[in-house]
A and B are shown apart, each in its own frame.
Chain A
Amino acid sequence: MIYFDNAATTLHKPEGVIEAVVRAMKTSGNAARGVHGASLGAAGTVYETRKKLAELFHCPRPDHVAFTANATGALNIAIYGLLAPGDHAVTTALEHNSVLRPLYDLEERGLRLDMVPADRLGNVRYEDFERLLRPDTKAVVCTHASNLTGNVLDLRRIGEMAHRHGAYLIVDASQTAGCLPIHMEEMGIDVLCFTGHKGLLGPQGTGGLCIRPGVELRPFQRGGSGVHSYDRRQPSAYPTRLEAGTLNSHGLAGLSAALDYIAREGVGALHAAEDALARRFYGEVSRIEGVTVYGDHSQAQRAPIVSLNIRDYDSAVVADVLYTDYEIATRAGAHCAPRMHEALGTTEQGAVRFSFSPFNTLEEVRIAVEAIRDLSKE
């Protein structure tokens, strides 16, 4: 199988990740629930993972890295923890449902929400942020890169505008963590939400949020914390405030090993590899008659995603044929990004998404291009 569904989850993980998970499953106790070797071993792994993530994303404090099961969990904590009915928030048409649905839910309860639109290339106009930001805007919630087009947003610019209006910037880095450099301080990110199983090359069930010191998020869940058992309230100190219940220390052991791999190889080198594949693929398929490619591929920095359609064929049928006839795994249909599909005009047809990882090869790209060429002639 040729796997081009890395924006959903990276399939190929470094061997050290798998070994670390197996080792943890054989040796780890419950992190923060005891003071014996097995528990301390797990707690140590969790702590080292926080430190590595803080370093990677330039989060000033490791104890401001809180773990969740995925980016959706992190975004729910950030959005519900910061926004309340009566607040004003700004988001974009590029967003995934993990951002939109929590915001829509709050909107039904009195949040005032404005949305920065996207054009047919999937681009925003940054002036629109300026236009929509108000003195009472509490937060801008936006993605770093669209999961449908791969277009990247200029977070530094958005962060500067948000802060000038006294608003926080919450970022969904699902498609960029581990792929593109992220510098919380320089980009003005107040809460960075990430998943561990995509560009970070770790196991599913890992994710979290990095919180700028001074940003106060209300707890989303309440429960066991390993400290202050007789307090009626969830402890207030980060990260315990946001981490009720047992952490996935087995998965985090894998994520820790993945972070070691990324540190050794370098985010820049890993992205250069996947970016070269995505651009080669785009360069070839965009010249095939009958193929429509979505997104702005003139961007210097992009997530390694190329979404396309062939004539008016149902994207689900194309993806199915790609898999059954060519053993090429892609994703079809809508991509949990309804406003993006509206902007691109693909609400009915959906799109076939090819998403790349550093472990893909040029030969795989060549085979995929040939497959698209074949299908375009049918």
Chain B
Amino acid sequence: MRPRLLRLIVSFHTTTAAMAMERYCLENAVPGRLIPIPREITAGCGMAWSAPPEEKDTVLRAAEGGEIEIAGTYVLEI
């Protein structure tokens, strides 16, 4: 597989929250994209926001600004 990279991962309780995050980040030029949720977070299904770890403050501010409820924040090598 490809080399693993350290990424900030933000998970959500619902797809609706994930979509709200994507919309807000696109509108506000916040870096990152939606990815399938990594197994280190949950062995279930779903989607998560992935961004460079150094953008953590920006991403968390975006979630707060968009009033988006997040389930968890992780920095993982994926």
Contact = CB atoms under 8 A, between A and B. Distances in A.
A220 interface: no
B8 interface: no
A63 interface: yes
B77 to A, nearest CB: 19
Interface string A18-40: 00000000000001111100001
Nearest to B18: A43
A334 B69 CA distance: 47
Given A35-B36, A35-B47, A227 B14 contact: yes
A33 B18 CA distance: 12
Interface in A39-70: 40, 43-44, 46-47, 50, 62-63
Interface residues on A, range: 20 to 34
A31 B19 CA distance: 10
B16 A226 contact: no
B20 A229 contact: no
Contacts of A235: 13-14
Contact of B15 (A31, A62, A229, A230): A31
Contact of A47 (B13, B16, B42, B45): B16
A34 to B, nearest CB: 8
A231 interface: yes
Contact of A240 (B13, B36, B47): B13
Contact of A237 (B14, B22, B42, B43): B14
A239 interface: yes
A212 B66 CA distance: 19
Contacts of B42: 228, 230
A62 B45 contact: no
Interface string A60-88: 00110000000000000000000000000
Residues of A contacting B: mostly: loop
Interface residues of B, number: 21
B46 interface: yes
B35 interface: yes
A159 B13 CA distance: 31
Contacts of B13: 227, 235, 237, 240
A64 to B, nearest CB: 9
B61 interface: no
Given A40-B34, A43-B15, A63 B46 contact: no
A227 to B, nearest CB: 4
Contact of B20 (A34, A35, A62): A62
B59 interface: no
Interface string A193-227: 00000000000000000000000000000000011
B14 A63 contact: yes
A154 to B, nearest CB: 33
A227 B19 contact: no
A35 B34 contact: yes
Contacts of B23: 44, 47
A227 B45 contact: yes
Contacts of A227: 12-15, 44-46
Contacts of B20: 47, 62-63
B44 A231 contact: yes
A27 B14 CA distance: 23
Interface in B24-53: 34-36, 42-47
A33 B44 CA distance: 12
Nearest to B69: A237
A231 B14 CA distance: 14
B9 interface: no
Nearest to B26: A44
Contacts of A239: 14, 16
B63 interface: no
B59 to A, nearest CB: 17
B17 interface: yes
A231 B46 CA distance: 13
12 contacts: A35-B34, A35-B35, A35-B47, A44-B23, A47-B20, A63-B14, A227-B15, A227-B46, A230-B42, A235-B14, A237-B69, A240-B15
Given A63-B20, A226-B46, 4 more contacts: A33-B45, A62-B20, A63-B16, A227-B15
